[in-house]
Amino acid sequence: MLKLRESSYDTQIFIYWSGLSIDIWLKLFTSSLIYLLATSSLLYLHWILIYSLILDIEYHIYLEVHKYTFKHSNFGYSHFIVPITYRNSLRSSSPRKLNYPK
């Protein structure tokens, strides 16, 4: 511990305590900021996953309903009924038997 002169004892103690408190507050602020950023990003990713799952379920129901409704129509699975991006996934989810030549 450093020896303090009597004339500057009060000022040095004040500087020591203010520096200590600034250091503690800075550590608390940075740790809380990191914690808030981490939790908010995790919550953001969590809601993105939930929203994408809901959209996936909605499109699955949409495809199933239109597959049942327009099964015998002349249009078939046109892109006016089923979105283009889901036409390939619909075909891959229900594979057809391939007739290979013998």
pTM: 0.28
Q: What angle do CA 89, 90, 96 make, to 5 degrees?
A: 110
Q: Is residue 44's pLDDT more than 50?
A: yes
Distance CA 12, CA 88 (A): 75
* 4-19 mean pLDDT: 55
Range from 18-27, 37-46, 60-69, 79-88 carrying the lowest mean pLDDT = 79-88
Domain boundaries, the chain: 9-93
Q: What is the 3-state secondary structure (H, E, C) of the chain?
A: CCCCCCCCHHHHHHHHHHHHHHHHHHHHHHHHHHHHHHHHHHHHHHHHHHHHHHHHHHHHHHHHHHHHHCCCCCCCCCCCCCCHHHHHHHHHHCCCCCCCCC
Indicate whether 39 pLDDT > 60: yes
Whether residue 6 is predicted with pLDDT greater than 70 in this model: the reply is: no
Residue type, 31: S
Residue 32 confidence (pLDDT):
80
Q: Is the CB of residue 66 less than 8 Å from the CB of residue 82?
A: yes
